[in-house]
Amino acid sequence: MRRARNAKIVATLGPASSDPEAIRRLFEAGADVFRLNFSHGTQEDHRRNFNTLRALERDSGRPISILQDLQGPKLRVGRLEGGKVTLEKDSHFRLDLDETPGTAERAPLPHPEIFAALQEGATILLDDGRLYLEVIEAAADHAKTRVVVGGILGERKGVNVPSVVLPISPLTPKDRDDLAFGLEMGVDWVALSFVQRPEDVAELRKLVAGRAAIMIKVEKPAAVDCLEQLLELADGAMVARGDLGVEMAPEEVPGIQKDIIRACRLAGKPVVVATQMLDSMVHAPAPTRAEASDVATAIYDGADAVMLSAESAAGDYPVEAVAMMCRIIERTERDRSYRAIVEALHPEPEPNAADAISEAAAQVAMTISAAAIVTYTTSGSTALRAARRRPTAPILLLTAQRKTARRLVLLWGAHAVHTADISSFPEMVEKAASIARREGFAEAGSKLVITAGVPFGTPGATNVLRIAWVE
């Protein structure tokens, strides 16, 4: 099951992909990481899919990464008379805590934390940004607004406040319950929605307590503004373009996407580009040329992974969508301009042994045309540093920690293998050569670049680089 590409594919499971045969077909078509979206489905639905994935992992002999995506707070207007009202441009519209069904003049907004943060001049977006309000008067229990862009407002539609950091935790009671459930099952990654500040990530990290890796979803302008600090606390990031596109002007999102990918690359943290990548394949057997170009752009930018949402969860062509994304990635990575574009960003190695070894390994592998860089790792930190460099040779990651193998399935260029620890230099070389041949990376006469740490099995102790020939 070696993939013929460096970038990975995240597939969301849902009604269109919730039985064992469907999940197996997604995996065989190219899905590397499976997303359990806790905004939809029951916990038992997710447990069933989790168990199916672990059974598939045992049958295939390949580690599979499972990502739990928490729902986060959902800010919505309350009930409206007749279920919907029409807001006229330049009319005044009041939002308040009164639960009485709303009219064209006012509506309930049962979120006092929003009123606590609003100021005159702030922007309020309704229904995924379709309606645009400007605050002209703010108080602790209401806000008077002017309708800048009007239209039909339905009850229970979403509310976004892009210009304001809201005094609200990203973890609702539902999220905390779902998190405990996911950690008990053994998810590999937890994706945090509604991130606004570093304290949000610190709150989750305390609850996770090392049992899973943490991925921040960058979907709010406030998160973009403090991205560097967020990445210091997180293990990876997701460019949540759908929500970003609501809270920011659409023309700003492509540049922000590149900035996030660059920041993650420099930090040595994996990054996923998500939302509407092959959206037309929800109902069509092929994507638009613009969508194919969109996926390719993320690959040229150096993303670790690209994600399918509704395409694989609820679409008519889930397997075809995965296969198409796989083909686009493979073709992009074969393009003669790909390597030059990826190497245009060459992160400077940090002054430590792991970075020195990883930098040297990439250079040596390119010089001798090595079949692979074989990295022995315990915590995964060495593999992360190796992938940060985006070497020309694939990264064969060998670890005795099953949870490390699963987490790093997401990593650019990494082929993770769970195997027993080594105890000597001869065993280090013999095992690297044997697994490289078995996994389809090398054949007799191939060269390998091997990195490891002495004493063997010590986390964070990478200090050895060895060139070996496969016999």
Whether 197 sits among the annotated catalytic residues: the reply is no
Whether 462 sits among the annotated catalytic residues: the reply is no
Which of 142, 176, 355 has the alpha carbon at shortest distance from 268? 355
Catalytic position from the list 275, 377, 378, 451: 275
Alpha-carbon distances of 14 from 28, 30, 40, 201, 313, rounded to whole Å: 17, 17, 8, 27, 4
Catalytic position from the list 5, 8, 12, 35: 35
User: Whole-angstrom distance between the N-terminal and C-terminal Cα of the chain?
Assistant: 23
Rounded Cα distance between 135 and 380, Å, is 48
Catalytic position from the list 5, 62, 106, 217: 217
Whether 447 sits among the annotated catalytic residues: the reply is no
Catalytic position from the list 3, 48, 76, 79: 76
> Are β-strands 414-418 and 395-399 bridged in parallel, bridged antiparallel, or unpaired?
parallel
Whether 76 sits among the annotated catalytic residues: the reply is yes
> Are β-strands 414-418 and 123-126 bridged in parallel, bridged antiparallel, or unpaired?
unpaired
Q: Which residues pair with 152 in a beta bridge?
A: 86
The set of catalytic residues is: 35, 76, 217, 275
